Structure 1
Amino acid sequence: MSQHQQNYHQNLNLWAIIPAAGSGSRFSKTELKQYQMIADQTVLEHTIARLNQLPLMGYVLAIGEQDNVAKTLRFAQAEKSHFCLGGAERVNSVLNALNYLSEIAHDDDWVLVHDAARPCVSKENLEDLVETSLCSQQSAILAIPVRDTLKRVENSSQISVTVDRSTLWQAQTPQMAKLGVLKKAIETALAENVTITDEASALEYIGESVQVVQGRSDNIKITYPDDLELARLILASQSN
């Protein structure tokens, strides 16, 4: 960490939210992706360990009502762990966690929202994201420029148009905002029946500026079974 980053981190009230209540049906009908094993730890334990490379005040896991695994795991800095009930969709889980945090944190505290099944995010990217938000006092997300040619397919398997990718970025997590601002954004969007695909989309809806911080392509989200083996390879490579 640079001296510049250390100066910003000294007075930083930073929390993390990990929505982990989803069914993950694209991965498996019966198994949750965040509890798959990589090198003697679950995916979720790896994810929490990465987030704890930052000076977090604490982290909140939004878990399902029937989840009897999360609270038994050996999380990094377990004394900072908090749990709340997740919701029907990811956005509902995030809002539940924000409501939980509102009881123990301040509206001006910063919050990182990170996917439970994204265990490969680098310390460098995490620090770049935090510094960008703190320097600008604006929300920010990790993202990478779209590399491949994109096709719009509207009817069957026929291509209707090639999409210009020059201004397109693929959103990742974490996504960072002030607690009060993000809570207001999500509540407003839900009340007005706006589709929320990530935290940035809610912030955009209420007119909040959101900056993009270039991430890395190895910050993958485990969505399908073959992603698990890729995550194993990435984590092994990063550890070397």
Structure 2
Amino acid sequence: MKHLQTLESLKLWAIVPAAGSGSRFSQTELKQYQIIEEKTVLEHTIQRLNDLPLTGYVLAIGAQDDIAQKLPFRAIEKAHFCQGGVERVNSVLNALNYLSQIAHPEDWVLVHDAARPCVAVENLLALLEYAITHKTSAILAIPVRDTLKYVDQTQKVKTTVSREQLWQAQTPQIAQLGMLKHAIEQALHDHVMITDEASALEYIGATVHVVTGRSDNIKITYPEDLELARLILQSQQKSV
């Protein structure tokens, strides 16, 4: 893509929050360390991110994690590790604080879920090109397809919600290091609920754009998602 040559004068980092317990997946097993095609989910995820010209990537891991630093990640020389936090947003902020010691506030940072191993390379490139070309924060997302219902506490349908302007957010989400760090710090200080990086940026009034992703960029949440991710990865490999 023509605008990516500007990366020669820019630095791009990736943050992967990988400290969560994933209780919806299992009470005892971490989803990022489940095996698909002889690799952990986390290894697949890092492999996809390294299709970009990363300066480095930071994994925010749990204090008791004795697995991540032993994995044979692609471009292992670019790997950095920091301790994660109680919630995803705390892990991301810890990684941003780590990066602030070795990176510039205007460096670009991609934040990507550890359990999204199927993100397409063309979507990664499209997101990066859009952000750099337009000098804006951006996220991958897809338009909501299904009919949405607003339901009360008794499971009674109250109304059908228009999906015309609704998009389902995905990751990666990209912003400049200094802005994202400030946004998350401000939101946490004000006790605002942060569910993704875009919500923190929205809170401080920063512009965030949507770049159309793909429906196969799934997040592994439940055990049955592992088989779906395996099928997606196999299909993507065949199409290369």
Separation in 1 of the partners of 2:139 and 2:80? 23
Equivalent of 2:192, from 178, 191, 194? 194
**2:228 is matched with which residue?**
230
Would the aligned equivalents of 1:118 and 1:221 in 2 still touch at CA under 8 Å? yes
Residue correspondence of structure 1 range 197-216 to structure 2 within 5 A = 197-216=195-214
Q: Secondary structure, in 3 states, of the residue corresponding to 2:152?
A: strand
**2:128 is matched with which residue?**
130
Residue correspondence of structure 1 range 59-74 to structure 2 within 5 A = 59-74=57-72
CA drift at 1:148:
0.3
**1:48 is matched with which residue?**
46
Q: What is the percentage of aligned positions where both structures have the same residue?
A: 68
Count of residues in correspondence between the two structures: 238
Equivalent of 1:157, from 155, 168, 171? 155
**2:74 is matched with which residue?**
76
Q: Secondary structure, in 3 states, of the residue corresponding to 2:9?
A: coil
CA drift at 1:109:
0.2
Would the aligned equivalents of 1:129 and 1:142 in 2 still touch at CA under 8 Å? yes
RMSD: 0.7
Letter in 1 for 2:149: K
Give the unaligned 5+ runs of structure 1. Answer: none
**1:36 is matched with which residue?**
34
Letter in 1 for 2:84: G
**1:112 is matched with which residue?**
110
**1:57 is matched with which residue?**
55
**1:139 is matched with which residue?**
137
Instruction: Out of 155-164 and 167-176, give the one that drifted further.
Output: 155-164
Separation in 2 of the partners of 1:167 and 1:154? 22
Letter in 2 for 1:112: L
Would the aligned equivalents of 1:143 and 1:213 in 2 still touch at CA under 8 Å? yes
Equivalent of 1:174, from 172, 175, 197? 172
Q: TM-score scaled to structure 2, two decimals?
A: 0.98
Letter in 2 for 1:126: L
Separation in 2 of the partners of 1:147 and 1:6? 32
Separation in 1 of the partners of 2:65 and 2:198? 28
CA drift at 1:85:
0.3
Q: TM-score scaled to structure 1, two decimals?
A: 0.98
CA drift at 1:5:
3.6
Letter in 2 for 1:229: E
Separation in 2 of the partners of 1:76 and 1:217? 25
Letter in 2 for 1:86: G
Equivalent of 1:22, from 17, 20, 23? 20
Separation in 2 of the partners of 1:12 and 1:214? 24
**1:93 is matched with which residue?**
91
Would the aligned equivalents of 1:13 and 1:110 in 2 still touch at CA under 8 Å? yes
Q: Secondary structure, in 3 states, of the residue corresponding to 2:13?
A: strand
> CA offsets per residue over residues 120-164 of structure 1, 9 Å max, x none?
001100000001100111100000000000001112221011000
Q: Which runs of 4+ in 1 moved over 3 A?
A: none
Query: Cα–Cα, structure 1 residues 151 and 36, in superposed 2: closer, same or farther, change >3 Å?
Result: same
Letter in 2 for 1:66: Q
